[in-house]
Chains A and B, each alone.
Chain A
Amino acid sequence: MKLNGIIGLSITLLILSGCWNSREINELSISIAIGIDKTERGYRITHQILNPKAISTKIYTNETPIILFSEEGENVFSIIRQNTAEFPRKIYNSHVRMVVFGEDMARNGIQDVLDFLLRDHEFRTDFYFAIAKGTTASEVLSILTPLEFIPGIRLYNSLENSESYLGITQSVDILDLVQCIISDGKNPALPGIEITTGEKGSDTLDVLTTVSGKKGLKYIDMGVFKDDKLIGWLSEDESKGFNYIVGNVKNNIEYTHYNEKDQITYEIIDSAKKITTSVVNQKPSLLVEIRVKANIGAVDGYFDIMKKENESMVVNLLENRLQEFCESALRKAQTELHSDIFGFGEVIHVKYPKLWKEIKSNWSVEFSRLPVEFDVTVELNKTGEISKSVFTKEES
């Protein structure tokens, strides 16, 4: 009996002594964003690391909220480990919110990096991707941002917001991205980030004490990929068109001119798309139906939107405007970039699997001459808090 007790005790000692490779929070440096650039030697990896002292509300300090760690080398994983030579703490990657690719990197192909991000156990699947347009990822990550002190989280939040309320970006997580790359009938498109110009540099804390005139970050345009290589950019209007076609718009603002100088502004509150395909003589064609619900946001001048006969004009103006966006996006993709970012190939794959088997090897050529028609229908919902423009003079 005594012996059993001893055995039991020693087993509990063994088990309850703690985790094997436990790492306490004060031994970790939490990485919030990662930037990956292509250099002559291979890659440059930039980690944006949280400075716990600076973001704690109890201690006042004038340290920067983030610390940048940047290292160059041939191999991604070994570069990430390099930091232990320079840093007292090991980098912890489970809280990464953004991965930013430099433009050069994106043009050279991102596939090899994605394999590592999927394979390593520390990376989760809920971070988003972006491309540093015309600059390097390490430049982008070195910008300090006001309001949200941690730039990585700022990038993450404003990507989600600009997707929901502006409709020009698309938040893509790693599973979506990988699926687009391996799919024959769809190519990825990632949002681009630009550094807005300002006189003052933005990598010191001083920048947070001034009101304006500093460098900032802004999402702009969408980078179009062919397989895993960046091949071109969609402009802002084309990005909008892209988002309408893939059904990604939740809330958006559009405006049209009803005469030379006066505008009607709409707030899109709902958008749905339906893509149908048909085959004539072994040639597929597509019809994209987009249904949009819109509120009136503002009316310039004296235009009477409450008149019954004007309603169709208000609707038509928006329909034409949206159609232009969609067509410009398609034109760019078909004639200039030859890359099917809309997933039209997948639509054909689902509906006509046999035909797809014949054309899929040659899809980028087939896509360039694919006839696509748009059918945009707008439904007016509400006119806002007022009906006619308050400045309309009653004639009676």
Chain B
Amino acid sequence: MKNTLFFLFVTATTLIICVTVIPNLLKKRLYPEFWVSIVALGLSLLISFSKVFDFSVPNPSDLILWIYSPLKGLIQGLLKQG
């Protein structure tokens, strides 16, 4: 129920933005802005879909953890209960 509300909220906002902002961008030939908006809206929709239909999307925090995973031992020694 809570997730559905979230999904509805995101979808509704996306629709409103699509109706109000996006046509303006195209009219004024602001193509980079158009693509940034489309990607952002698409990702938000994807995330809200994942909440309702219960599939997992990659979490950017995991990416950071993965990038710095070689340093894990070092940080463990440095910061955990010194």
Which residues of B does A touch, CB under 8 Å?
Answer: 16, 19-20
Contact = CB atoms under 8 A, between A and B. Distances in A.
Contacts of B19: 3
Interface size class of A (residues with CB under 8 A): under 10
Contacts of A4: 20
Interface of A: 3-4, 7
Contacts of A3: 19-20
5 contacts: A3-B19, A3-B20, A4-B20, A7-B16, A7-B20
Contacts, number: 5
A3 B19 CA distance: 10
User: Binding site of A, secondary structure by majority: helix, strand, loop or mixed?
Assistant: helix
A309 to B, nearest CB: 63
Q: 5 smallest A-B Cβ distances: which pairs?
A: A3-B20, A7-B16, A7-B20, A4-B20, A3-B19
A4 B19 CA distance: 11
A7 B21 CA distance: 12
Contacts of A7: 16, 20
Nearest to A6: B16
A65 B10 CA distance: 50
Nearest to B16: A7
A3 B17 CA distance: 11
A163 B19 CA distance: 69
B2 to A, nearest CB: 10
Nearest to B9: A14
Nearest to B12: A10
A14 to B, nearest CB: 8
A286 B17 CA distance: 74
A317 to B, nearest CB: 54
B43 to A, nearest CB: 22
A249 B27 CA distance: 80
